[in-house]
Amino acid sequence: MSQPAPPPPPSPRLPGLWRLAVLTAVVALAVVALGGVVRATDSGLACPTWPGCFSGGDFIPRADVGVWLEHSHRLLAGALGLLIAAALLWALLRHRDRRTIVWALAGAAAAVLVQAALGAAVVLFQLRAELVTAHLGMGMAIVALLVVVAVEAAQGLAPAAAARDRRLFRTSLAVAALTYVQILVGGHVTGVGAGLVYADSPLLGIATFAPITREAQLFNAAHRVLAVALVVAISVLVGRTVRSGATGWLARLAHVASALVVVQALLGVANLWSGLSALSVIPHLAVASWIWAVLVLHAALAARRVPAGAVGLGDGEPARELAGSGR
C-alpha cells in the first residue's frame, strides 16, 4: 500500500518583496508625518489648485516655505503611489499564489487613488474638516495594508486557523481598531479647530467633565476620553501578550506600543501648554501613526502565532516548525 503524499512545503519567504513593502510602508508613514507638518504650519492651501500648485500643470512652484511644504507632500504621495504600483505588479507577476499579499496590495493601490482624490477635494473645498479627517483615515489604512504585506512577505505559510492564538489576535485587533478611531477623532479635532477649547481643564475627560454644547467641545472631550481608554486597552494588550507566553517581536511590540502611548500622552499635554505649537503638534501626529503601525504589526503577527503546546496544524505539519511566526 502506497504511503500518502507528504504535505506541500510552506510557501517561501519573499525577501525582495519584503524590502519593497518595508520601504513603501516607511514612505507612507513619511507622507503622514509631512501632512502633519503641512497642517501644523497652516500650509494646506499654500498651493490653491491641484494637481499643480498655482495651475493644473505647475509642478515647479516658486520658492516659498509653505508652498514647498504642501507641494513636497504631494510629490511624496505621488512617489508612494508609484511604489505601491510597483509592488502590486511584482506580486501579480511572481507571487500570484500569495493571495493575502496580492489582495492587500490591490487594496493599497485602490486606497492611494482614493487618497489622491481626497487630497484634491481637501484643497478645492478649502480644508473642509470632514474631508481632512477622511484623508487622514485613508492614509492610515494604506499604512496598515503595507504592514500586512511586509509581514506576509517576511513569513512562510501561515498556520491553520484552528491552531492559532485567536484570543491574543482578537485583543490586538480590538486595540488597533480603538487606535484608528482615536486617530480619526484627533484629526477631526484639528479640522474643526477644537484643540484648545478645554485648555484650562487639563483633567477634563479623566477626573472632571463639563457641559458640551457644540461640535468642537464634543470632539475634544471624546478625544480625551478615548485617550484614557487607549491607555487601559494597551495595558490589557501587554498583559495578555505576556500571559500568552509570546516572545521575540510579538512580545517587544506590545511594550513598544505602551511606551509610545506614554510619549503621545506627554505630547498631548505639551500641545495644551504650548498653545498648539508646531513643535509638539507635528510629533503628536507622527507618533500616533507609529502607534497605529506597531499595533497593526502586532495584530498581523498575532494572527499567525501558534500557541505553545499546539499538537498540529491540521495538515500533518508539526506546530513547532511554524511556532516561530511572530515569535
Asked whether the beta carbons of 324 and 158 are under 8 A apart, the reply is: no
Task: Name the grid cell of 101.
Answer: 499579499
Rounded Cα distance between 259 and 60, Å, is: 41
Residue 65's Cβ-side half-sphere holds a number of Cα atoms within 13 Å equal to: 3
pTM for the structure as a whole: 0.85
Mean pLDDT of the chain: 84
Higher pLDDT: 5 or 86? It is 86
Does the CA dihedral 145-149-151-155 come out positive or negative?
Answer: positive
pLDDT in tens, 108-136: 999 999 999 998 898 888 889 899 999 99
What is the model's pLDDT at position 10?
47
How does pLDDT run across 302-314, given as a tens digit for each residue?
Answer: 988 766 555 433 3
What is the predicted pLDDT for the residue at 15? 85
- Mean pLDDT across the stretch 48-53? 78
Q: What is the mean pLDDT of residues 39-49?
A: 83
- The per-residue pLDDT for 327 is 40
Cell of 251: 512580545
CA distance 176 to 132: 21
Q: What are phi and psi of 318, to 5 degrees?
A: -60, 140
The closest of 106, 88, 81, 67 to 27, measured between CA atoms, is 81
Compute CA 11 distance to the chain's CA centroid, rounded to the nearest angstrom.
Answer: 27
- Nearest-angstrom CA–CA distance, 61 and 318: 60
Task: Quick: pLDDT tens for 220-273.
Answer: 888 988 999 999 999 999 999 999 888 889 999 999 999 999 999 999 889 888
Q: Which three cell numbers stand for residue 132?
A: 481632512
What does the pLDDT read at residue 325? Answer: 42
- Show me where the domains of the chain are located: 14-154, 157-327
312 φ/ψ angles, rounded to the nearest 5 degrees:
-160, 180
